[in-house]
């Protein structure tokens, strides 16, 4: 069920703690999945949360849930905006940047390393991952940590707690719409 996957993998984004979350979703009908995403977007648009498919094939889709305004805030940092611009993104336009990320995901058949900046990973960790080719990290949690291990561990715990609370609420019948914090 799409709603269950949203809560399990995107709770911190629904709660407004992260700018974006990502998950794989298996489907029987891509048309049905697209219809569900359209329906969900219509309901959550006013809360500033959107959902899109980055890539699809063989009965699976890579689904991205995000807050465009929060992405703009994240990307306003000079380091991040300069980096994104240097590799072809427009940090002032999340929709255009997400379209480019989608194309790159489809072309590579894997995650472009900059995807961390679409998921609220610290800039230092994204750059550390790129420079170290994914090796030599200080800690591995929701992402590979190359910067402040203590701060990231606290953040991982915060995300885990949020997900646990959201899953419990969802199992008790609280709707996704009620769980989604307005921007």
Q: pLDDT class for 180, splitting at 50, 70, 90?
A: very high
Owner of token pair 């899109």: 52
CB 81 within 8 A of CB 45: no
Q: What is the pLDDT of residue 111?
A: 85
Q: What is the pLDDT of residue 12?
A: 98
Q: What is the pLDDT of residue 27?
A: 95
> 77-96: per-residue pLDDT in tens?
999 999 999 999 999 999 99
R_g over Cα of the chain: 16
Give 145's contacts (C-beta < 8 A, 6+ positions apart). Answer: 125, 128, 137, 138, 139, 152, 153
As a whole number, mean pLDDT of residues 158-182 equals 97
Give 83's contacts (C-beta < 8 A, 6+ positions apart). Answer: 114, 117, 123, 127
Q: What is the pLDDT of residue 50?
A: 97
Confidence check: pLDDT of 179 > 90: yes
Region of 135 please: left (phi>0), alpha (psi -120 to 50) or beta. beta
Q: What is the pLDDT of residue 110?
A: 75
As a whole number, mean pLDDT of residues 129-156 equals 97
Q: What is the pLDDT of residue 108?
A: 77
> 2-25: per-residue pLDDT in tens?
999 999 999 999 999 999 999 999
- Express as a percent the part of the chain with pLDDT over 70: 100
Q: What is the pLDDT of residue 18?
A: 97
> 99-124: per-residue pLDDT in tens?
999 999 998 777 899 999 999 999 99
> 18-67: per-residue pLDDT in tens?
999 999 999 999 999 999 999 999 999 999 999 999 999 999 999 999 99
3-state secondary structure 89-144: CCCCCHHHHHHHHHHHHHHHCCCCHHHHHHCCCCHHHHHHHHHCCCCCCCEECCCE
Both structure tokens of 18:
């992260």
What is the rounded distance in angstroms from the CA atom of residue 72 to the CA atom of residue 81?
Answer: 9
Q: What is the DSSP string of 11-47?
A: HHHHTTSSSEEEEEEE-S-HHHHHHHHHHHHHHHGGG
């Amino acid at each position: 069920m799409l709603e269950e996957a949203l809560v399990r993998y995107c709770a911190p984004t629904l709660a407004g703690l992260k700018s974006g979350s990502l998950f794989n979703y298996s489907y029987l009908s891509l048309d049905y999945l697209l219809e569900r995403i359209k329906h969900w977007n219509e309901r959550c648009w006013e809360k500033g949360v959107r959902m899109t498919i980055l890539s699809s094939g063989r009965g699976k889709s890579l689904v991205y849930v995000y807050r465009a305004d929060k992405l703009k805030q994240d990307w306003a940092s000079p380091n991040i905006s300069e980096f994104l611009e240097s590799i072809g993104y427009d940090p002032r336009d999340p929709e255009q940047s997400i379209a480019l990320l989608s194309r790159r995901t489809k072309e590579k058949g894997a995650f472009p390393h900059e995807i961390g900046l679409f998921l609220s990973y610290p800039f230092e960790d994204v750059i550390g991952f790129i420079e170290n080719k994914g090796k030599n990290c200080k800690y591995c949690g929701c992402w590979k940590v190359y910067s402040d291990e203590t701060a990231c561990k606290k953040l991982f715990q915060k995300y885990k707690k949020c997900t646990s609370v959201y899953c419990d609420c969802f199992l008790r019948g609280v709707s996704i719409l009620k769980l989604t914090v307005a921007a």
